[in-house]
Structure 1
């Protein structure tokens, strides 16, 4: 059957009218200001070579052959999870096939009927999707607004006749803004109000805390119930893990459907994560330093070119300038691409209408000249 149902055709047409229709872009040889490969590990030949040797010498198979609860729990998994426990200062770690799978699996299974989930209004789609699959009730709080969060916590505590669990969910680095919450104050609030704090560290993994994460940098490991770390960004591979206590790991193994009912990562995929982390541990310091220097230079150049007020405040590798309207932001991105720079527009409905933006992702391998050039081009476009 070749026909598409009318309702689906209508939804596609609406996207097209709003200039928001998504498509798969072709790979082009442009200067990278769009990927999540912050440290350049995805293009690192030494990591690639070490991965091949590790697979050949330790577990020479192409596929996992099944889920981890059946035949797919190969020996490289134990080695990786043991390493993650030590590296990220956690009691336990459980590897998932992706960050999306990890968030879906956690939020659909952990909060129970009668519980409350309070999540930042800009939380990632994978968090929202997982929460929607849960039997718990969920409510947004204003972005990075601890006062709004505290009011909601106290209101639910006051109206509850039974002892409800409250889960507070945020990100250490927000993927569309690049900003961060006050994690120290947030941890104190959750401790005072007896809430379970859950932090998605996807865009902080490998960059902060000497190649660990932002929670580790702040010394808050014991204050957080669960952390999500991912390997598809700064680590340059694929997959994710939930960090928490041993009881949480045992629970997820038994009740997280996105963990239970899927084929495990291949030996090569797990070996690539191990190799990347080993490289990060042994040689990562100067690479992280290069990234941090580029972040500082990008911010100083933005000030010099009088662009800083147009950008959302960020100390991470993600910097966004608001360009309202899908048509306008797509035009500006295309102009930058024609000049050789890979910068992607973020359109509504991915972000709220009026919050469309150009998203600049910085990397350790970007040069100062590239940063100055792209910001100068941006200034010309914004003034044109």
Structure 2
């Protein structure tokens, strides 16, 4: 056996031994409390009809882009969609990337330079971490949502300073103290970057996100909005100034050196934004309130969260996996989030609440959770 095969085998065995091995499965329980499809857009027949009708109106559209945006892959419709989304979020400009991962990597690997400083929340998403690693800037992280610790790092920062947070954190579901963060960044002349992946569609007027809700659009250097969560489709956009858009076109490698999204993907994004204006934006919050009220009545401890992401902590990978398996056997698609994805000792069930979860399903899930405690 070659050394590299032995290394691979040893690493996989290590994951098996600590019960953190990942695997793919097509066996999905019928009641969804797992996906990021918070508003039901991914399964919406009405949205699908809008997408298909728009595509049918486009004569001779291609199956694929045929190249990067800088070669054959750009279209007027794509640029109109970028402008439409930027206007929706009250941003000056926007640039679409093929995924949220590509957007974060492209932005953070290209804008901060050697001699600059990036400061991130310790619970920031892996795509942001990877983008920062590709930058030559000095990197710090601060304790989760801890303004005092952030300020201690800002005092050490040099060059152009970038503070990077999520508005809603993907594993805890809690919200960043955006007003305090903005004030602190203003005081230290730092550039605030906010990933709005799990806030878009849920918070703000018509789902515009927390930056819009808090009137911080002028205070934020860049926002990353992804389309694969509440919007139910795929891709992402970096929102910021017109100069930032032009810079990313010239320097963001994850934009420059990849085949562009096909036109049917851009149509899906455009239609999804139009569909946002048609829905009842209070319904998701009613479902979240019902779930948290039922948990409280049954004395089930949960992470503090106003978002669609709800976390229930367990003591180990084994206990969390057993809890998830138990719920899945009852027909509920609830997944275990294990270390090292989350910190050791903070393994949890990550439960996502959706508009299409019936009240009966929510109450039934809570009753089964009570049996696990």
Contact 2:102–2:254 (CA under 8 A) maintained in structure 1: yes
The equivalent of 1:336 in structure 2 is 327
Q: Unpaired segments of 5 or more residues in structure 1?
A: none
Superposition map of 1:332-371 within 5 A? 332-371=323-362
| Deviations, residues 294-332 of structure 1 (Å, cap 9, x unaligned) | 01111111111111xx21100000000111211110000
Corresponding residue of 1:44: 44
1:54 CA drift (Å): 1.3
SS in 2 for 1:235: coil
Q: Name the structure 2 match of 1:306.
A: 299
Count residues in correspondence: 371
TM-score by length of 2: 0.97
Compute the displacement of 1:145 (Å).
0.1
Q: Is the 8 A contact 2:29 2:328 kept in 1?
A: no
2:259 match: 263
Per the alignment, residue 215 of structure 1 pairs with 211
Q: Shift of the alpha carbon at 1:29?
A: 4.3
Q: Which residue, out of 156, 176, 180, partners 1:185?
A: 180
Deviations 1:266-300 (A, max 9, x none): 1111101111111112x12x1x2111100111111
SS in structure 2 at match of 1:78: helix
**How far 1:155 moved relative to its partner?**
3.2
Please say if 1:295 is aligned against 2:288.
Answer: yes
The SS at the match of 2:54 is: helix
1: CA distance between counterparts of 2:242 and 2:27?
A: 42
- The 3-state SS of whatever aligns with 1:21 is coil
| 1:26 matched to 2:19 | no
Structure 2 portions without partners, runs of 5+: none
* TM-score, structure 1 as length reference: 0.94
Give runs of aligned pairs for residues 1-384 of structure 1, distance below 5 A.
Answer: 5-58=5-58, 60-156=61-157, 164-210=159-205, 211-281=207-277, 283-284=278-279, 286=280, 288-307=281-300, 310-382=301-373
Q: Aligned equivalents of 1:339 and 1:304: distance in 2?
A: 22
In the alignment, the residues of structure 2 paired with residue 222 and residue 58 of structure 1 have an alpha-carbon distance, to the nearest angstrom, of 36
Q: In structure 1, the residue corresponding to 2:163 is in which secondary structure?
A: strand
SS in 1 for 2:272: helix
Runs of 4+ in 1 over 4 A off after TM superposition: 1-4
Deviations 1:1-21 (A, max 9, x none): 999621111111100111111
State the Cα distance separating 1:78 from its structure 2 match.
Answer: 1.4
